Amino acid sequence: MTITHTRADFQTDQEVRWCPGCGDYTILASVQNFLATLDRPREEFVFVSGIGCSSRFPYYMNTYGIHSIHGRAPAVATGITVTRPDLSVWVITGDGDALSIGGNHLIHAMRRNVNLKILLFNNQIYGLTKGQYSPTSEPGKRTKSSPAGSIDHPFNPVSLALGAEATFVARTIDMDRDHTAEILKAAYEHEGTAFIEIYQNCNVFNDKAFIQLAGKEERVHNRINLVHGQPITFGPNDEKAVVLDGGEAKIVDTASVDPSRILVHDATRSDPSLAFALSRLSHGPYGPTPLGIFRKVKRPTYESLLDHQVASAMDKQGPGDLAALIRSHGTWTVDSNGHSHAPTSNGSNGSGR
């Protein structure tokens, strides 16, 4: 039986509590609209978040959800996915939550290729705690925690994901709903970790941070739309192009190079170096910046490999004995006098204190 939903089916009775004008509203609407197009029960979706403005997301999704621990959403989501591979599990996180305290959890989920959809809302600021600089804030950023300007070198989230060899890596922007929907669809259909960086405006603490990509006049000059199988050109009249020069992606005038030199985007290339080169065209939303799918390749998922390993062990050894496993090595017995006794190599007990 075909399941028909509308966006309203994915909305809850909770008051959406973000600052008026926040980009999170647009992302929420984009996700709800996208899920409504799928022929799938709401009960098969799970949204897991950490801590931050973006992490209120599960309250507003009429699906299963967990508002978990700061930075640990990928770990919680991994447990759900491994035990319930029939569910569609989504991680909602921010640049502070994912890339600061949660950095290790994020990169290991991606390298393992757990079947998760990770949406990283990047507003380049700590919004919930009122405007401190974040791991993606630009150098020199003056905030409450960096009054003289940040001296930290920021992360490039797409470069980080590619370095962790995520099998699906993409970038979009909050105000472009059509582009976001396209990326969400591709991520949903991908088997394995799908990482999406979403540039998201914080109109209170970092307003217009993405104006070069979102502004009506600016975006036509700065958005590099990556389309698989198509030459990478951009500008009002495609007057700019991307070429590869000694392994480095560079921007040139289209008219200055032979058309054969213009880089043709290949998101399915197994070697991530080319996608990484594209990610280095811009270290943030300043000037010409690529948007779209950087990488989309196939690799066995973590849970499929785990299931195979368990099935193989069952075939060889039969059902396991947990009690025997626990007592097989390194056990100690404490007698009534408080003395501990450990097994010796011949099976008898030795003693110690």
Query: Each residue of 192-248: pLDDT tens digit?
Result: 999 999 999 999 999 999 999 999 999 999 999 999 999 999 999 999 999 999 999
At 323-344, the pLDDT tens digits run 887 878 777 778 888 777 766 5
28: nearest Cα among 58, 70, 72: 58
Residues 170-174: what's their mean pLDDT? 98
Q: What's residue 108's pLDDT?
A: 97
Residues 6-20: what's their mean pLDDT? 96
Q: What's residue 343's pLDDT?
A: 60
Based on the structure, what is the number of domains in the chain? 2
Q: Is residue 182 part of a domain?
A: yes
Q: What's residue 306's pLDDT?
A: 93
Residues 234 and 124 reside in one and the same domain: no
Q: Is residue 346 part of a domain?
A: no
Q: Which residues contact 311 (CB under 8 A, 6 or more apart)?
A: none
Q: Is residue 23 part of a domain?
A: yes
Q: Which of 260, 292, 324 is the last residue of a domain?
A: 292
Q: Is residue 347 part of a domain?
A: no
Q: 254 is in which domain, residue-wise?
A: 225-292
| Helix, strand, coil abundance in the chain, percent, nearest 5 | 35, 25, 45
Q: What's residue 281's pLDDT?
A: 97
* 317 phi/psi in degrees, rounded to 5: -115, -10
Q: Is residue 216 part of a domain?
A: no
Residues 63 and 205 reside in one and the same domain: yes
Q: Is residue 189 part of a domain?
A: yes
Distance of CA 244 to the CA centre of its chain: 27
Residues 242 and 274 reside in one and the same domain: yes
Residues 125 and 266 reside in one and the same domain: no
Residues 27 and 160 reside in one and the same domain: yes
Residues 183 and 255 reside in one and the same domain: no
Distance of CA 154 to the CA centre of its chain: 17
For residue 141, pLDDT beyond 80 = yes
At 271-294, the pLDDT tens digits run 999 999 999 999 999 999 999 999
At 89-100, the pLDDT tens digits run 999 999 999 999
Residues 54 and 99 reside in one and the same domain: yes
Residues 133-142: what's their mean pLDDT? 94
Amino acid letter, 56: R
pTM comes to 0.90
CB 142 within 8 A of CB 87: no
**Banded pLDDT at 347 (limits 50, 70, 90):** very low
Q: Tell me the C-alpha distance between 7 and 11, whole Å.
A: 7
Residues 173 and 200 reside in one and the same domain: yes
Q: What's residue 316's pLDDT?
A: 82
Please tell me whether residue 106 adopts helix, strand or coil conformation. Answer: helix
Residues 43 and 114 reside in one and the same domain: yes
Residues 201 and 245 reside in one and the same domain: no
Which domain CATH number covers 144?
3.40.50.970
Residues 298-321: what's their mean pLDDT? 89
- The residue behind tokens 């029939």 is 86
For residue 353, pLDDT beyond 70 = no
For residue 77, pLDDT beyond 70 = yes
**Banded pLDDT at 322 (limits 50, 70, 90):** confident
Give the H/E segment covering residue 13: none
Residues 177 and 97 reside in one and the same domain: yes
CB 141 within 8 A of CB 195: no
Residues 287 and 308 reside in one and the same domain: no
Q: What's residue 320's pLDDT?
A: 77
Amino acid letter, 325: L
Q: Is residue 77 part of a domain?
A: yes
Q: What's residue 94's pLDDT?
A: 96
Q: Is residue 233 part of a domain?
A: yes
Q: Which residues contact 100 (CB under 8 A, 6 or more apart)?
A: 71, 134, 135
C-alpha torsion 27→170→122→232, nearest 10: -110
In 10 A of CB 121, how many CB atoms? 28
Q: What's residue 342's pLDDT?
A: 65
Supply the mean pLDDT for the chain: 93
Q: Which long-range contacts (CB under 8 A, 24 or more apart) does 135-142 make?
A: 135/95, 135/96, 135/99, 135/100, 135/103, 136/95, 136/99, 136/284, 138/284, 138/286
For residue 349, pLDDT beyond 70 = no
For the chain, the first-to-last Cα distance in angstroms comes to 68
